[in-house]
Amino acid sequence: MSPKLKIDKILVANRGEIAVRIMRSAQELGLKVVGIYEETDKEAYHIMRADEVVCVGPGPRRDYLSIDRIIEVAKQTGAQAIHPGYGFLSENPDFPEACTNEGLVFVGPPPEVIRNMGSKVIARRLAMESGIPVIPASAVLSPGSQGDQEALAFAAEHGYPLMIKAVSGGGGRGIRQVEDDKMLLAGLQQSRSEALLCFGNDEIYLEKCIFRPRHIEVQILADTFGNVVHLGTRNCSIQRRHQKLIEIAPGGLRPALEQEICQAAVRLAQTARYLSAGTVEFLVGADDSIYFLEVNTRIQVEHTVTEVVTGIDIIREQLRIAEGEPISFSQDQVAERGFAIQVRINAEDPKNNFLANPGVLQVYQSPGGPGVRLDGAIYQGYEITPYYDSLLVKLTVYGFTWAEAVQRLARSLRGFLILGVKTTIPYFQQIVRDPDFIAMNFDTSYIDDHPQLLDYQETEREVDKIARLIAEINAFGKNPYA
C-alpha cells in the first residue's frame, strides 16, 4: 500500500480527444492541467482546454515521444503527476520509470507491470498461472533460417491458419494471418520488419488461429490496497485488419460466460500485481470456449462504452488511485445497464482502402439528444494534418435495449455534417442497416464477410458546393466548440 499524496497539478502527455477527456475529469476534481503540444500541432483543440500549455518541440510526433522533454516541462510547471493517455508513451515502461526517478507520479501501472504485460510471452505465462486457457503458440522464433524451420514445424503440428504475432506492442501491428507454408515464410520477415519499426523489437512467435471468434475484453481497475474490480465486458469483434472499428458494452455473452470471463480477468490482474486501469482481452470461440489474448496497460479508446453502461468515470478512478486512494466502489456496486455502441469517426476514405484524408473542416456540426456522447477534439476551420491520428470524434450512443442503441446510432450518424474531408460516416451508416449487425450476429470475420458495405453512393462532391458558401460566411474566423 502506497502512502496518500495530494496532487494539485497534472500534465497530460498526449493530444487530441484523449487529452481533452483526461483534462475534463482532472478539472472536475479541482486539479490544474498542463497541456503540451508540438509546433506542428499548435492549432489543436486540447491546447484550448488546458489551464497551462507548453510547446515541447517542432514535431511532428517525435517531441510527443520525448521522455526527457516531457518530464522537464512537468517539473518546470510544478506538475506532480503525468497521465500518458493512450498511444505515444503510454505503454513504454521507460516512461513511468523515468517519472518515478524524478519524483513524479505516473498515472498508470508501474514499469514492471507494463514490461511484463507488454511481452506477450510473459503475459501468456501469467495467464496460465492464473488458470486461464491460452491459444496454442510457439516459443519466440529464432532469427533467420532456423526460425523458418521452427515455424514450419509448428505449422505441421497445429495446421493452418496461423497468426504471426510480435512479442511486443499491440494495436494490430506486426500481426498477420497465414494460410500455407508460402504465406508463412513471407509473413515472418514482414512481421519482423514491422515489429522492429513499431516497437524496437523484432521478436515474433506463432499462434494457432481460432476460427471466427468474438473479441471480448474486460475493463479492470486495481488500487494499492489490493482491490481489483472489473467493469464488465466489451465486444470489439468488428475490426478491420485487427484494428477495432466498433465497440459495444456489454459484450453480449450469456450471463454465466460473462461472469467466467470477468473473474478470469480479475485473477490475472491479481497474479500480475496490477495497478490502475487496464484491459484484459480474450477470444471466445463459437462453442463459448475462452482464450487469453493480451493485456492493454492503459486507458482504451473504447473505454467510453463501459462508462456509459456503468456510470463510472474510469479516468477519475485512475487519478484517485494515483493519489493512493482506494477504488471508490465495490464489485457488487458495479452493474451494466442497457447497451452502448462506440464508432470512431475518422478522416478516412473507406472506398480508398480507408486511406487518411487530411484537409480543412469547412463545416462541422454534430448530433445530440438523449443517449448521445461525443469525445472529440475538432472544430470548424480546424486543419486535419497528415502528421497525427485521423480520428475526428468518437460517437458513443446508449439505449436501454440493443435495438434502441442501434436506432440511436443510426439517427446520430445522420446528425453529422462534416464537410471538407471524407469520413467513415457513410460506411457506418451501411453497417447500422445491415441485418447481421441489427441481429447482433457478428464475429471478427464480419468485415471480410460483408464487402457490400462499401457499396454506397458518395455525395460529398455535391455538398462541397454548399461547404464553400458556408466557409465564405464563416470567413471571419474559427469557431471552437466546448
Distance, in Å, from the CA atom of 360 to the CA atom of 25, rounded to the nearest integer, reads: 29
Tell me the residue length of the chain.
Answer: 482
Distance, in Å, from the CA atom of 136 to the CA atom of 76, rounded to the nearest integer, reads: 50
Cα 353 to Cα 100, 162, 309, 314, 356: the distances in Å are 43, 24, 33, 34, 9
Q: Report the pLDDT value the prediction gives residue 211, as an integer from 0 to 100.
A: 86
Instruction: Say whether 360 sits in a helix, a strand or coil.
Output: strand
| Residue segments in the chain with a per-residue pLDDT below the cut of 50 | 461-462, 480-482
Which pTM was predicted? 0.88
Q: For residue 473, give the H/E element and its range.
A: helix 460-473
Distance, in Å, from the CA atom of 449 to the CA atom of 387, rounded to the nearest integer, reads: 32
Residue carrying the nine cell digits 481533452: 20
Residue carrying the nine cell digits 486512494: 325
Grid cell for residue 368: 445530440
Q: Report the pLDDT value the prediction gives residue 223, as an integer from 0 to 100.
A: 98
Contact call for residues 476 and 449 (beta carbons, < 8 A): no
Q: Is 125 assigned a catalytic role?
A: no
Distance, in Å, from the CA atom of 339 to the CA atom of 290, rounded to the nearest integer, reads: 22
**C-alpha atoms less than 13 angstroms from C-alpha of 228 in its C-beta half-sphere:** 21
How would you label 244-283 residue by residue, b for 16+ Cβ within 10 Å and e otherwise?
A: bbbbbbbbbbeeebbeebbebbbbbbebbebbbbbbbbbb
Contact call for residues 162 and 154 (beta carbons, < 8 A): yes
- Give the CA diameter of the chain: 68
Work out the number of other CB atoms within 10 angstroms of the CB of residue 367.
17
Q: Report the pLDDT value the prediction gives residue 469, as an integer from 0 to 100.
A: 59
Give the active site residue among 298, 320, 344, 408: 298
Q: Report the pLDDT value the prediction gives residue 242, as an integer from 0 to 100.
A: 82
Q: Report the pLDDT value the prediction gives residue 271, as an integer from 0 to 100.
A: 97
Distance, in Å, from the CA atom of 260 to the CA atom of 152, rounded to the nearest integer, reads: 35
Q: Which domains does the chain have, with CATH numbers?
A: 9-107 (3.40.50.20), 136-208 (3.30.1490.20), 214-463 (3.30.470.20)
Cα 419 to Cα 1, 43, 357, 361: the distances in Å are 52, 19, 12, 6
